[in-house]
Amino acid sequence: MPVFLAAFDDLGKRVVLDRLFELTGDMEADNAAIKAYVDTKWTGIHPEKQ
């Protein structure tokens, strides 16, 4: 089942509707892959908690 990735980009002051991310069924691996992708694309309101 795919998950649609969206985020609040604080530096760009925008809401980003990005892409579908296909899940593999391995929750730990999927979460790590999503976090790695998000961390390279956006900066949150509290980057120290990212």
The length of the chain is 50
Contact between 21 and 2 under an 8 Å Cβ cutoff? The reply is yes
CA separation for the pair 45, 40 (Å, rounded): 15
Collapse the DSSP code of 22 into the 3-class scheme (helix H, G, I; strand E, B; otherwise coil) and give the result.
Answer: strand
Q: Where are the alpha helices (DSSP H) in 1-50?
A: 27-41
pLDDT at 26: 96
pLDDT at 13: 82
- pLDDT tens digits along 3-33: 999 988 777 788 889 899 999 999 999 999 9
pLDDT at 9: 77
Average pLDDT over residues 33-44: 86
Q: Which residue has the higher pLDDT, 8 or 36?
A: 36
Global pTM reads: 0.73
